Chain A
Amino acid sequence: MSKPLNDPLLTTGKVVLQIAAAGIAITIAVAFYGFVALFTDPEGNLARIFAKAPPEAWWWLFGISLLDTLVLGLCLLFVFQLVQIVDSVGDGDPFVPQNAGRLDRMAWLALAMQAVSLAKLPLAALLEPHLKDFPLGIDFSLWGIVLALTLFILARVFRKGAEMKADLEGTV
């Protein structure tokens, strides 16, 4: 029977992840509020920024904002999975099939975040020329794919570890 661990690293990790989850949740809420405020701005700040832009530019900005919110949501789900893994390590029993499933889900979430970031690029390319004084600062890296691959491999490691643990528990 495994005993719960009293590990400062795990405790710190869990606190940091919970703060991160709260931060992301607040960011989603603020982004949503800003989103609504921007598109229903009575003073027309957005209209001034888009003075020389084609009418479709509103939709491009709407798409980018929506995709950004989606990335934040995926990020929140990613952190939730990681918190559950940290909890299982704290319980002293990390090599369970559930953790392999969690790592698989984290890998798919990392891929989804990468795909959403990729989907933002054409919209940003369309919008950026019309926002000379208001750069979007959107860039793209392939680290999401590297992270997803790492997580898929770790999921295999944990699945194998869980199998080996089950075998060991049946050894007399």
Chain B
Amino acid sequence: MLSETKRGQGDAAAPGGRTDPGDHFAVLGIERSWHLDTARLAARHLALSRELHPDRFAQASPRERLLSLERTTALNDAYRTLRDPIRRAEYILRQAGIGHGDHDHELGHETGGVDHEFLEKIMHMRERMLELGIAGGRGGEHPEALAMRTAAAAAIDDLDRQIDAEFTAWERDPGGSGSRAALVQVDRCLAQRRYYVNILREIDGEDIPAGHGAL
């Protein structure tokens, strides 16, 4: 574990003094896994913050101040990513080289991983929303809007259950041959989930924070 921690930190200080994400799990010193104890994660973040935070280094040398800034940045970025189940899932996929999460993609490009049939279903929903004029938070109490909302929320719940199950399979044997297939399934679920979250957002006309849902 020690060497892994060291490697993660070594990566954090890239040439040119820039902070690279490093390995989020290593930064927080926890096992790579999607199911995790968020209370323990919070405790780790706090304990490391107490030692690393720039406030602790206000009187230190410029070098130590820079190190403190880099390490605390890596710590906060790791915590922000891992404490949220959806961001955590996307991160695990990204590390496995599956899908693209929020990284390394053309701007504005929606994800792949969804089939034609699914896209058609979403397109029908959107067309119906436009016809009824219920997009942009103008759904109000329209019965069909409420029904659509319920359907989207139920779909998200269902996807969340699938994601949970696929990760359980992956965690049993992260390096195994079947585990990659599980992650590909997660990628497909996440891609579909994004469409439903967007539909909810349009009906409600508000900003739904990432990872908001039944997970």
Whether A and B are associated in the same complex: the answer reads no
Point out residues on B near A: beta carbons under 8 Å: none
